[in-house]
Structure 1
Amino acid sequence: MGYVTTDDGVEIYYKDWGPKDAPVIFFHHGWPLSADDWDAQLMFFVGEGFRVIASDRRGHGRSQQVWDGHDMDHYADDTAAVVKHLGVQGATHVGHSTGGGVVVRYITRHPEDKVAAGVLISAVPPLMVKTADNPDGIDKSVFDDFQKNTAENRSQFFHDVPAGPFYNYDQDGVEASDPVIDNWWRQGMMGGAKAHTDGIAAFSQTDFREEMKGIEIPMLVLHGEHDQVVPFEISGKKSAEILPNATLISYPGFPHGMPTTEAATINKDLLAFLRR
């Protein structure tokens, strides 16, 4: 565990576990969380002989709470700083939710790193917000409400999201876990309100469609069919159609936060992809 300073002077926190000569997996977390959200994957893949790396995005978790740079370009450049510092070029990059957008932007913005493969889990690409040429997207008012609630009463909102749609705990027959909800809240409240508010625009309004067409490396797309936060039909399904070399696995009933609640299944399918 340590810190690296980016070219624009931001301290980025990272975890680096496992043998230095082992195959590397770099994990990118979702909004508004931290590298801790990958606990179930970090422990599993270390046990399988991999070197695992996960960083907190700027303004999130233990990284510096700067007021600017909360966009996909800066997120990708911050990743490049960690990769360069640790010398882990050629890794497999795995992103959940917003982190999936970071994976796409890192691959396309930093071609000097010959990434081995990418994995998008419940990820925001290709484009979430509804526009004239993306008519089945989500109305911008939804994300405006997200920003309003984050800015005005973040503590309450960061309870309501995991207690409701993030893990499908608001659905009939789904038993809520208070510790899982509390851990989501803990991670969110570690970060900065400015980063979280700006990050909503980054994950909802960034258009990845054109750049995804040029990603030729193997890409695994994992998505829950009952994802209430990033709906499968507008995200995972479309990403698999756009990416030239994609493998899609969808899961009936799985929620947005499936790396936590469905870790056994996600880890198994990710391991199979890595050992293909």
Structure 2
Amino acid sequence: MPYLKLRDGAELFYKDWGNPKGEVVTFSHGWPLSSDNWESQMVFLVSHGYRVIAHDRRGHGRSTQNWTDHNMEIFVDDLQELYKHLDIKNAMIVGHSHGGGEVTRFLGKHGTSRVKKAVLVGAIPPFMLKSSANPEGTEKSVFDSFREAMSKDRAQFFLDVPTGPFFGFNRPNAAKSEGQIRSWWEQGMRTSFKASYDCIKDFSETDFTKDLKSIDIPVLVLHGDDDQVVPIGAAGLKSAKLLPQGKLKIYPGGSHAIHNVNVDEVNKDLLDFITS
């Protein structure tokens, strides 16, 4: 399994699948997961001749479990190192939830010289936290309750999230998948406690508004209108308006994890966008 030794000695795990000469699509995962959460999209695009790359953010999955540096500035610098190491050019970059924040800050900070298109899936930008300037956001007390639940019983909290709002399995008549729940729990528990805890602040209190405004490439925003984790009114609708070349697709009844639940539709949207 490939690892990249980063500037500070931390090791970043990544997957590099498919046609080595094909067009590149990279994936950034959500909290508190790993690159495994993208496998349905990765296998699909490989079957269409693409080279797909996905990494586990530091502290997550199989990457180094360092005690500090669980913040967006470090994450996007790690991703830039991976892009340079693999000499990635003309890529489409895709991010879900917290990973959508990573994609947005990466393009805002490091530019678009290596990227031609981007996709944000149930992504956290522009800003999750409720304030007078952002009344559609989520109260800080909600994120405080996440930290409290983690400190009390992380294993149970990481079972409650996928059983309930993440996949929308708490909705009436939802087609519940025990496999998805177990996979989420396993990925979450593989991530270090410290990274999981610190990243609650990172995904809830990082403002991506300036980044969105600066992105000079086409960006597809995919968001479910029943996203209980990152509500569309505070995220996808706003991001699409702030992006100079933003295009929004709303998934009616879609949960936070549309790429896991609406697999075929998301796969088609990704393929259509990269070939358009």
Q: TM-score range by the shorter chain?
A: over 0.9
1:91-140, Cα deviation, whole Å (9 max, x unpaired): 11100000000001111111274311111000000000012211221000
Query: Which residue does 1:234 correspond to in 2?
Result: 234
Match of 1:159, as an amino acid? L
Contact in 2 for aligned 1:5/1:81 (Cα 8 Å)? no
Q: Contact conserved, 2:23 with 2:90, CA < 8 A, in 1?
A: no
CA contact (8 A) 1:2 1:14 kept: yes
Tell whether the 8 Å contact from 2:94 to 2:100 is kept in structure 1 after alignment.
yes
Q: Residue 63 of structure 2 corresponds to which residue in structure 1? A: 63
Could you say which residue in structure 1 is the equivalent of 2:170?
170
Q: After the TM superposition, which residues 145-224 of structure 1 pair with which residues of structure 2 at under 5 Å, given as runs?
A: 145-224=145-224
Query: Deviation per CA, 1:125-182, whole angstroms, max 9, x where unpaired?
Result: 0000012211221000101111121232110001000000001111111021111100
> Residue 95 of structure 2 contacts residue 103 of structure 2 at CA under 8 Å; is this kept in 1?
yes
Unaligned runs of 5+ in 1: none
Tell me the secondary structure at the aligned position of residue 84 of structure 1: helix
Output aligned runs, 1:1-276, within 5 Å: 1-111=1-111, 113-276=113-276
Mapped to 1, the partners of 2:236 and 2:5 lie a distance apart of 33
| Structure 1 residue matching 2:59: 3-state secondary structure | coil
Q: Percent identical across equivalent pairs?
A: 47
The CA RMSD over aligned residues, in Å, is 1.0
Measure the CA separation in 2 of the matches of 1:87 and 1:214.
Answer: 23
Q: What is the CA–CA distance in structure 1 between the aligned matches of 2:118 and 2:8, rounded to whole Å?
A: 26
- The code of the aligned residue for 2:114 comes to K
State the secondary structure of the residue aligned to 1:116: strand
Q: Where do 4+ consecutive residues of structure 1 move more than 6 Å?
A: none
Q: Take 2:66 and 2:268, find their aligned partners in 1: how far apart are those partners?
A: 37
Q: Deviations over 1:211-241 (max 9, x none)?
A: 2111110000000000000001110010001
Structure 2 distance, partners of 1:218, 1:151, is: 41
User: Residues of 2 paired with 1:65 and 1:78: CA distance?
Assistant: 14
Q: Deviations over 1:236-276 (max 9, x none)?
A: 01000100001110011011011111110000011100000
Q: Are residues 267 and 83 of structure 1, via their aligned partners in 2, closer, same or farther at CA, if it must alter by over 3 Å? A: same
Q: More displaced, 30-39 or 132-141?
A: 132-141
- The alpha carbon displacement at 1:52 in A equals 0.1
Q: Give the conservation status (yes or no) of the 8 Å contact 1:151–1:193.
A: no
Partner letter of residue 68 of structure 1?
T
Alignment length (residue pairs): 276
Give the SS at the match of 1:213. helix
Partner Cα distance (2:112, 2:215) in 1: 14
Residues in 2 aligned to 1:183 and 1:240: alpha-carbon distance in whole angstroms: 31
